[in-house]
Chains A and B, each alone.
Chain A
């Protein structure tokens, strides 16, 4: 696209041609109360570049980044090491294309990478087929609920007490507008298997998470069996993709749809996004799947090539009957995922997962040894919840003063449910023995 600069005179001529007095005339359809009636309060109209850089630099310095000290925050976003080679690969010019790089004539590199991404996600989740990614884990979860309702022609979705509350909220938002009933089971550290008791003949799907928001790992095979016995689907969710290097994957539990967050692999925290939603399902359900799907084919000369496939599910062909209104994917984050996963390989992922689990075990041992600390999560990967006798918000504030970012208070995600004294903390491969010692020493002084 060319850059077309405008002068004031150009603008005047154009406005005169269409009979508008000013650009503001274009916005008269927006209710007046929602329109800006002048400059934004306290925001200077312009400053020199150096002054802006200095000011923004001062603001940025107020943040403490996850790399600056002991850091134990998880709950859906995990600080993992991203090799410098990943950044190098994703910035190669072959991948720097314009938006919607799906034309097979010009985008074989991107399409091949998406095909590899799908292959990796399918292998990671032990499912038949994966799509080219969703916006993030929470929207993938919501799309899974919608897909289950389409596939079963039912309108009831049951969410476990361990499903990440943000995933539950996204699912509720998308489903409620379509008249789908959402049943939320009460939040609990270890209750994914309760889903098996809740499923009935009206249920489109049950949605359970492992490791769940409290870090608890659960073999949900019995949930899948109970769902299938009532012709409902089982949706298996994860927020920490690295866990699949060790834990039983959704496909082995009998999941019909597996969804999760892929940020952990290849993508930094970046203030919460953009992330990359992983979405996989059984072959039987592929035509109900949302999103882009890339397939391998042959060109006119019989050479291997890649194209988007099963596009008849999608909006640009199927219009209002499309399986979803997503007509894109998280391309750059998916590329980073694929680059990192390729560098790790199968054995590398398992080693990384083992390292995460060992680090978290060391942290749990160190914290549990403190008088007044009660470990709540019975089986965990790299994240667990613990309780002290004090308010969690106060404990985290005091830890912060001692330079330790100790985790997330559970009441922030699940308010008013009796979790005021519960902290959820994660330990990835980035956490050192010194970090763990610093956490334990600081916590010992507080509780």
Chain B
């Protein structure tokens, strides 16, 4: 599946039943140097829009919201020791967690890459 985006600057990519979630390149650039990331642990479950993770940069501290509901199957523990990965590769190695999605229809309301690029231009 292609990558989808939220207005809160999370990205989500579904692979079979499991979706990988992170923050977008735009968000990482806006935040500046990320100094701390708190990702959820496996087993935690969230509804769409819940506070799911925390990202702190030298400029700001922000909550990361669940783009869709689901149960966490894996958190990116590597970010605890290397939060800069979020700046270096936000939409790759800087992923936050993997979710087992509870309702795939929740993905439908999200933006594709083009729509998200336009959305960011308007900010």
Find residues 245-299 in chain A having any chain B CB closer than 8 Å to their own CB. 287
Provide the residues of chain B in CB contact with A389, threshold 8 Å: none
Say which residue of A153, A312, A317 sits within 8 Å of B44 (CB atoms).
A153
A115 CB to closest chain B CB (Å) equals: 20
Say which residue of B36, B38, B44, B63 sits within 8 Å of A321 (CB atoms).
B63
A153 to B41, CA, bound (A): 12
Tell me if B56 is interfacial: C-beta within 8 Å of chain A: yes
A215 to B14, CA, bound (A): 59
A312 to B34, CA, bound (A): 12
Residues of A participating in the B interface, judged by any CB pair closer than 8 Å: 153, 287, 312, 317-318, 321
Interface string of B34-56 (1 = CB under 8 A from A): 00101000001000000100001
Q: Which residue of A lies closest to B57 (CB)?
A: A312
B33 CB to closest chain A CB (Å) equals: 13
Find residues 33-91 in chain B having any chain A CB closer than 8 Å to their own CB. 36, 38, 44, 51, 56, 60-61, 63
A312 pairs with B63, CB closer than 8 A: no
A287 pairs with B63, CB closer than 8 A: no
A321 to B60, CA, bound (A): 13
Q: Which residue of A lies closest to B38 (CB)?
A: A287
Provide the residues of chain B in CB contact with A317, threshold 8 Å: 60-61
A317 to B60, CA, bound (A): 7
A287 to B61, CA, bound (A): 12
A210 to B12, CA, bound (A): 49
B44 pairs with A287, CB closer than 8 A: no
Provide the residues of chain B in CB contact with A321, threshold 8 Å: 51, 61, 63
A-B contact pairs, 13 of them (CB 8 A): A153-B44, A287-B36, A287-B38, A312-B36, A312-B56, A312-B60, A312-B61, A317-B60, A317-B61, A318-B61, A321-B51, A321-B61, A321-B63
B9 CB to closest chain A CB (Å) equals: 17
Provide the residues of chain A in CB contact with B51, threshold 8 Å: 321
Q: Which residue of A lies closest to B61 (CB)?
A: A312
A321 to B38, CA, bound (A): 14
A333 to B51, CA, bound (A): 37
Most chain B CB within 10 A, of A153, A287, A312, A317, is at A312
A78 CB to closest chain B CB (Å) equals: 39
Provide the residues of chain B in CB contact with A153, threshold 8 Å: 44
A318 to B63, CA, bound (A): 10
B86 CB to closest chain A CB (Å) equals: 15
